[in-house]
Structure 1
Amino acid sequence: MEEIRWGMIGCGDVAERKSGPAFQQVAGSRLVAVMRRDAEKAADFAARHQVPKWYSQADALIRDPDINAVYVATPPASHEAYAIAALAAGKHVYLEKPMALDSDGARRIAEKAKESTGKLVIAHYRRALPAFRKVKELLDGGEIGQPLLVDVRLLQPAKPGLVAASETNWRTDPAISGGGLFHDLAPHQLDLMLLYFGAVQRATGFSANQAKVTEADDFVSGLIQFENGVNFRGLWGFNVPPEQALDSCEIIGTKGKISFSFFGEAEVVLWQDGKREVLRFKNPAYVQQPMIEKVTGYFLGQNPNPCPAGEAVEGMRLIDAFTGKKVYEKQDGAQPG
């Protein structure tokens, strides 16, 4: 049986908790090698997860003839270089979000994928989790009628220790992450909005560094009007009092409402005819496993691309618009695949 033989670039916290071991549990998938610049940590990960090889240089992993697919699980600053190198070598690529530091970098990766014999998928893994799939099913089935308005709010208290340099706080260094915690968390949310509501007509927003404890903005707001008439309002704040913390999405339609959180309990609340129904779900031990199953199937030619690069580029364009990096301009024609 043909199989996908993975090499993983970056084996830190995300790979440890969310994705790495899942590559060993998916049919037709095998984790052959891992890479981390800290050789001791790379060797430790490989030993604990029964991975045959480890490297301290990404180029060596990409050149390994035993590997036909590369999972890039490093911070965003290195996504573009590693993804393009792997695609140039003809390897399939599963690339962590955010796709790049900005939409320009994301476009360059998408263009390189068109030239490569390798396939490219972006790791917006929430698409494959049961709660978020249920939301799409409810929307597609007309359970709340015609969707009208989406309100997203993600408010978190300031986290201690963000100023000190460490491997755990790179998310608030714009040179490494592209921005702040918004750049780390909002890609999940905006990707689902694109999945649910389709093409964007216009988008705008603004951001600010209110606390000034890091170089990154800690407040972002954004507005989207989708081509189907749905209007979106988003608010992100990472310096609120603990009692004001909030993680919510409300989708209001002509016949009801759907509400859920992105990072909390795996449940969806459906409001219809004055009645409230709570739908609860269970996530797998490694939350990326359902997506990795779809990615592996796509690489093996068994199913469509579960998250094409063009859709992730669009998400990056929204992030750039909300943070003032670029004015959002409507693009004619199909998004790049």
Structure 2
Amino acid sequence: MENITWGILGCGDVTEVKSGPAFNKVANSKIEAVMRRNAEKAADYAKRHQIEKFYASADDLMNDDKINSIYIATPPSFHKEFAIQAMKAGKNVYIEKPVALNVAELNRMIEVEKQTGKKVTVAHYRRALPLFIKLKELIDHQIIGDVRLIDLKLLQKPNSEMIAKTDENWRLNPEISGGGLFYDLAPHQLDILVQIFGAPEKSFGFSVNQTRKTAADDVTIGQMLFKKDIVFNGIWNFNAHPDNEIEQCEIIGSQGKIIFSFFGNEMALVKNGQTEVFSFENPYHIQQNMIKKTVKHFLGKEENPCSLKDALLSLKIMESFTT
């Protein structure tokens, strides 16, 4: 395999800027075809992005012999089915988060990956962004000494601008999303934490639906104990008053602390009474760095930037907070 030829399964809003165009901007990578159940929208997407072929059937996309890799960008309830179908069709897979509705589904995907020998990478693209590369470097080099506490707060008003908008608003339907807005945003955060600190020794929490306006819980509380007695405390609240909105994480060590936003581009290092601020520039297509690493992995030139087993760690934590 000299080049990765892609089929995009679910060419919806998330693929317009964040990911889709990047597949044609990475070396040895080309979008061969796209698929959406609405043929008219699939044709429009293909025309606007200069893609030769489009399909209205997942089967037709999977059976295209010119495609060797599938990007799954559908809502999560379809991830397991399509990932397994793609692997059995001989395709490698790049798949959006949350990678599955639950741990049981993900374990089944891992089984099929092993059986087929295909490669699967999860789109936890923040791993490849400069802020989080720098964050890991600071922690690994013990710039703030021994880490003692991780405090995460995400409080957002209903219909927050942080939440991606879709016609069907499927993120608020747990049967499709896995668990409301927590399942949409927390994977980004928890994946970075397990990448840096490893699997937690303990994790527990609870979720509640305070407003009862949708079927999804709107408040989640979670606590973890990482190795070296590092304590984590997190709160996700999606019914907050606008005056109380915050999205911040503090990593507090024995010699200082780091303050940052998982969805921003600045980080502050506070140490010895001084504050140093780091600013970072993300790629226009925010997944491009991760897609580049994924292409290299599929070509056998790099390790997997985020495997199914990597994603399993954060999904287990999410279940422990919500069940």
- SS, match of residue 269 in structure 1: strand
Which residue does the alignment assign to 1:271?
270
| Amino acid of the structure 1 residue aligned with 2:275 | R
Q: Secondary structure at the match of 2:179?
A: coil
Give secondary structure in 2 for the equivalent of 1:100.
coil
SS of the residue 2:303 aligns to: coil
**What corresponds to 1:315 in structure 2?**
314
TM-fit CA distance, 1:199: 2.1
Pairwise CA distance, 1:167? 2.9
Q: How many Å apart are 1:146 and its aligned residue?
A: 1.1
Is the contact between residue 34 and residue 54 of structure 2 (CA under 8 Å) also seen in structure 1? yes
Trace 1:103-252 onto structure 2 (pairs within 5 A): 103-159=103-159, 167-252=167-252
Question: What is the letter of the counterpart of residue 85 of structure 1?
Answer: Q
Q: 1:231 deviation in Å?
A: 1.1
CA distance in 1, matches of 2:166, 2:249: 32
Counterpart of 2:182 in structure 1: which amino acid? Answer: F
- Take 1:201 and 1:316, find their aligned partners in 2: how far apart are those partners? 15
Q: 2:7 aligns to what SS in structure 1?
A: strand
Structure-2 separation of matches of 1:85 and 1:101: 17
Secondary structure in 2 matching 1:204: strand
* Alpha-carbon distance in structure 2 between the residues aligned to 1:106 and 1:86: 15
**CA distance in structure 2 between the aligned counterparts of 1:167 and 1:309, rounded to whole angstroms:** 29
Distance between the aligned counterparts of 2:306 and 2:228, measured in 1?
A: 21
State the partner residue of 1:257.
257
Counterpart of 1:235, as a letter, is I
SS in 1 for 2:46: helix
Q: Which amino acid aligns with 1:296?
A: V
8 Å Cα contact 1:91-1:117 kept in structure 2 = no
The separation in 2 between residues aligned to 1:274 and 1:297, in whole angstroms, is 43
Match of 2:286 in 1: 287
AA partner of residue 274 (structure 1): G
Q: What secondary structure is seen at the aligned counterpart in 2 of 1:171?
A: helix
- Tell me how far 1:166 sits from its aligned partner: 6.4
1:168–1:271 CA distance, 2 compared to 1 (3 A): farther
Counterparts of 2:126 and 2:70 in 1: how far apart (Å)? 20
Give a deviation string over 1:260-288, Cα, whole Å, max 9, x none.
00113x01111111110000010111000
TM-score normalized with structure 1 length: 0.93
1:7-46 equivalences in 2 (<5 Å) = 7-46=7-46
- Residue 168 of structure 1: how far off its partner (Å): 4.5
Find the aligned partners of 2:168 and 2:14 in 1 and give their Cα distance: 11
The secondary structure found in structure 1 opposite 2:60 is helix
Q: Answer yes or no: is the 8 Å Cα contact 1:197–1:228 preserved in 2.
A: no
Cα separation, 2, equivalents of 1:151 and 1:187: 16
- Per-residue CA deviations over 1:35-77 (Å, capped at 9, x if unaligned) read 0000000011101111111000111101110000000000000
Task: Give the aligned residue type for 1:195.
Answer: Q
**Native 8 Å contact 2:13 2:166 kept in 1:** no
Contact 2:121 2:305 in 1 (8 A): yes
Alignment-mate amino acid for residue 67 of structure 1: I
Report deviation, 1:173.
Answer: 0.3
Aligned counterparts of 1:90 and 1:119: Cα–Cα separation in 2: 10
Match of 1:303 in 2: 302
Do 2:146 and 2:253's aligned partners in 1 also have CA atoms closer than 8 Å? yes
* Alpha-carbon shift at residue 9 of structure 1 (Å): 0.2
Which segment drifts farther, 222-231 or 148-157? 222-231
Supply the RMSD in Å over aligned alpha carbons.
Answer: 1.3
Correspondence for 1:75: 75
Q: In the alignment, residue 172 of structure 1 is paired with which amino acid? A: L
Structure-1 separation of matches of 2:274 and 2:240: 32
Q: For the residues of structure 1 that align with 2:204 and 2:107, how far apart are their CA atoms? A: 20
Report the AA paired with residue 113 of structure 1.
E
Give the equivalent residue in structure 2 for 1:334.
Answer: none
In structure 1, C-alpha distance between the alignment counterparts of 2:251 and 2:192, rounded to whole Å: 12
Percentage identity across aligned positions? Answer: 50
CA positional deviation for 1:17: 2.3
Report the secondary structure of 1:90's partner residue. Answer: coil
Q: Deviations over 1:217-276 (max 9, x none)?
A: 000000111123211111000001001000001000111101100113x01111111110
The answer for unaligned runs of 5 or more in structure 1 is 325-337
